[in-house]
Structures are given as structure tokens and as C-alpha cells.
């Protein structure tokens, strides 16, 4: 079962699982996920419309499941700043519902999507899984709490859990329209429409941009990994750092345009610098990024070109 399977990352995970002839159940309430993300595969999946906050719905959906890839969440740091209570209800209570229902149903393993935001804005780079967690946003705090719950369920109940800390994921099916949209889809669609993208801050903030195919691969590896992976968390990224200004330059080269961004004040809760150490995922999961930043950006641009 893929929770949030109609979302950006979840729908990419679902499509890869179907390529591998897996039997896939999608659990989504379409609050941030989109029906168009599962267009063309509706007949290949079992779709259950439900809210992660509704334990009875989650419990009913868990029957017969071998592995849960828990992607369902309320994304976005700014959204969490504006509505911390809803953020907690979905991201923490929802995760607890998934873990409890999985335990009760005898599920083999739960792979939990987490975030680099759990590290906060500590100056030490690259981020290593053993670092003290210091989130600076309600979103980061909710992801840290869900991680701790997952580890506790392994230690107390023996439910196999694996946590994946995603770093700045981008790619096809990412929503560019919301006020909470990530930087890459916003920039691409703005430039394709002949508009100036907005940079919050000075543009010198760095990100370990991670194409979605790398995250999909990490999920499958985590679902199938041996005992060494159980109860652990792993950074998932490319292990490379780029500024937002680098992003603008690279995008300009791909589209052969001179991009002149607009600069506005930075957002509350935003981290200044982000870079992951992925040696643990390499060692234990056998993870290796399959698509690097520029190639991923080219693929993403091509996808949006057909839709803008």
C-alpha cells in the first residue's frame, strides 16, 4: 500500500511498483494529491479514498498488505507555519494511525517518508543521520516525531520500519500552482509562461536537489532491504549542493533564455543550507542516485513543457 499514492512522490512510486508487477493499493484523500496523477493507471491499482486521520479507514485499508510505503502527509514548511495544528494531525497522528494499523494487521514492513527539515538550520554540513535533530518549523517537528514513533514501534512491537529523509525532491507531477509549491516547479512554469520567478531571500541558500526517480528507487530498496536497515533512518539525495541562483542559471541554459528573477524577503522556517551525506544509504540499502541534478531538471522541464 502506498499512502498518498496520488501525490507527487507517491504517484511516481506507484507507477514504478506497477512496472515491477506489484499489486498496489493506493490510500489518498486527494487533499493535496491529484486524480490526474493516477490517470491511466486507475484500472491497475486498488484505490481507497480515505483520510490518514481516520483510524478506522486506515485500519480497513491495511488488510492483506505486505508492505506500506507511507508517503501520505501534509507537505510544505510555509503551510505548517500557517496551520501547525492541521500539520500535526496529518503528519503525526496520521503516521501513528498507519503504524498502529500496520502492527495490528501483521504488516511486514513500513517505509516512512521523512524530510531533511528534521535537521533544522544547524551549520554543520553535510547532514549525517547521527546528528541531533533540531527542526525549526512545525513541518520539520512533525516529521521528526513520526520518525521517533516508527523507531519506537520497531523496538516495542517488532514492526519493521525504515525511515527515509528526503532532500528537496523535484520532478514530474509536482504541483506548481499552490502558494506552497516547491521552488523548481514554480520556477519552471513561470519561465515557460515568460514570467520572472520569485526568489525568497538572496538566492545564495543551498539545496541538495533530488530528482524523484532517486527517491522512488530508495523506497523500493528500503522495502526489500535486509535486517540491517530495520529501525534505521537514511538520507536520500544526490549528495550535491546547489544555490537557488545556480538553479536559475541551469534552467536558463536548458531553456535558452535569460532569466531575471525577482527577489523578496525569505520565508519563516526556511533552512539556509542543505547537503546530505548518503554513505549510510549506499552501505546498507545499496542506494546510488540514478539521475543527477541537471539531467533531472531537463526531464522535469520536458514534462512541464507539455502541460504549461
Q: How far apart are the first and last CA of the chain?
A: 32
Q: Which three cell numbers stand for residue 247?
A: 538553479
Question: How many angstroms from the chain centroid is the CA of residue 203?
Answer: 22
Residue 218 near residue 163, CB atoms below 8 Å: no
Q: What is the signed CA dihedral for 129, 131, 136, 138, rounded to 10 degrees?
A: 50
Longest dimension (CA), the chain: 56
What single string gives the DSSP state of each residue in 77-133?
HHHHHH-HHHHHIIIIIHHHHHHHHHHHHT-SEEEEEEEGGGGTT-S-SSB-TTSPP
Residue 228 near residue 164, CB atoms below 8 Å: no
User: Would you please indicate which residues are annotated as catalytic (active-site) residues?
Assistant: 139
Amino acid at each position: 500500500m502506498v499512502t498518498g499514492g496520488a501525490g507527487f512522490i507517491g504517484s511516481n512510486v506507484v507507477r514504478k511498483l506497477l512496472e515491477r508487477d506489484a499489486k498496489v493499493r493506493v490510500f489518498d484523500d486527494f487533499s493535496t494529491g491529484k486524480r490526474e496523477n493516477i490517470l491511466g493507471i486507475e484500472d491497475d491499482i486498488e484505490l481507497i479514498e480515505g483520510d490518514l486521520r481516520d483510524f478506522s479507514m486506515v485500519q480497513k485499508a491495511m488488510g492483506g498488505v505486505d508492505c506500506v510505503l507511507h508517503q501520505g502527509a501534509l507537505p510544505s514548511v510555509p503551510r505548517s507555519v500557517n496551520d501547525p495544528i492541521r500539520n500535526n494531525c496529518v503528519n503525526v497522528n496520521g503516521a501513528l494511525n498507519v503504524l498502529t494499523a500496520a502492527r495490528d494487521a501483521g504488516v511486514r514492513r513500513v517505509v516512512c517518508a521523512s524530510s531533511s527539515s528534521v535537521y533544522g538550520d544547524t551549520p554543520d554540513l553535510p547532514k549525517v543521520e547521527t546528528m541531533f535533530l533540531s527542526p525549526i518549523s512545525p513541518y520539520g517537528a512533525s516529521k521528526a516525531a513520526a520518525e521517533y514513533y516508527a523507531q519506537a514501534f520497531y523496538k516495542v512491537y517488532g514492526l519493521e520500519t525504515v525511515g527515509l529523509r528526503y532532500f528537496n525532491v523535484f520532478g514530474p507531477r509536482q504541483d506548481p500552482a499552490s502558494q506552497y509549491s516547491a521552488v523548481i516547479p514554480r520556477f519552471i512554469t513561470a519561465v515557460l509562461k515568460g514570467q520572472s520567478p520569485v526568489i525568497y531571500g538572496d538566492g545564495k541558500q543551498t539545496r541538495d536537489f533530488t530528482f524523484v526517480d532517486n527517491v522512488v528507487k530508495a523506497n523500493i530498496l528500503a522495502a526489500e532491504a535486509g535486517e540491517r536497515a530495520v529501525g534505521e533512518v537514511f538520507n536520500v539525495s544526490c549528495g550535491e549542493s546547489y544555490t537557488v541562483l545556480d538553479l536559475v542559471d541551469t534552467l536558463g541554459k536548458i531553456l535558452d533564455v535569460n532569466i531575471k528573477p525577482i527577489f523578496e524577503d525569505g520565508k519563516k522556517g526556511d533552512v539556509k543550507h542543505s547537503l546530505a551525506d548518503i554513505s549510510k544509504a549506499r552501505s546498507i540499502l545499496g542506494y546510488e542516485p540514478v539521475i543527477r541534478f541537471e539531467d533531472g531538471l531537463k526531464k522535469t522541464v520536458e514534462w512541464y513543457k507539455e502541460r504549461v
